[in-house]
Amino acid sequence: MQFVRTPDFTAQVAEALAALRLWVLQILAWVAEYAPLPRDARLWMQSQLRRVRSDIRLLIAAAVISRMRKVKRRRVQLHKSRLPRGYRWAARRSPAIGCITRGIRLRTLADMRRALDDFEKVVDRALANLPRVRRSGVLVLTHAQKPAPIAFFIASETEAADTS
Distances, alpha carbon 18 to alpha carbons 23, 60, 156, in Å: 9, 12, 83
- Looking at residue 73, what is its pLDDT? 66
User: Is 76 domain-assigned?
Assistant: no
- pTM for the model stands at 0.62
Q: How many CB atoms lie within 10 A of CB 41?
A: 13
User: Is 3 domain-assigned?
Assistant: no
Answer yes or no: are the C-beta atoms of 45 and 81 closer than 8 Å: no
Give the total number of structural domains in the chain: 1
Range of the domain at 57: 10-69+84-144
pLDDT, the chain, mean:
77
Answer yes or no: are the C-beta atoms of 16 and 55 closer than 8 Å: no
Work out the pLDDT band at 160, boundaries 50, 70, 90: low
Over residues 6-53, the pLDDT tens digits come to: 566 667 767 776 777 777 778 877 777 788 888 888 888 888 888 888
User: Is 4 domain-assigned?
Assistant: no
User: Is 154 domain-assigned?
Assistant: no
User: Is 96 domain-assigned?
Assistant: yes
User: Is 60 domain-assigned?
Assistant: yes
- Looking at residue 121, what is its pLDDT? 92
- Looking at residue 4, what is its pLDDT? 47
Higher pLDDT, 116 or 74: 116
* Closest alpha carbon to 112 in 10, 13, 15, 37: 15
- Looking at residue 147, what is its pLDDT? 72
First to last CA, the chain: 104
User: Is 134 domain-assigned?
Assistant: yes
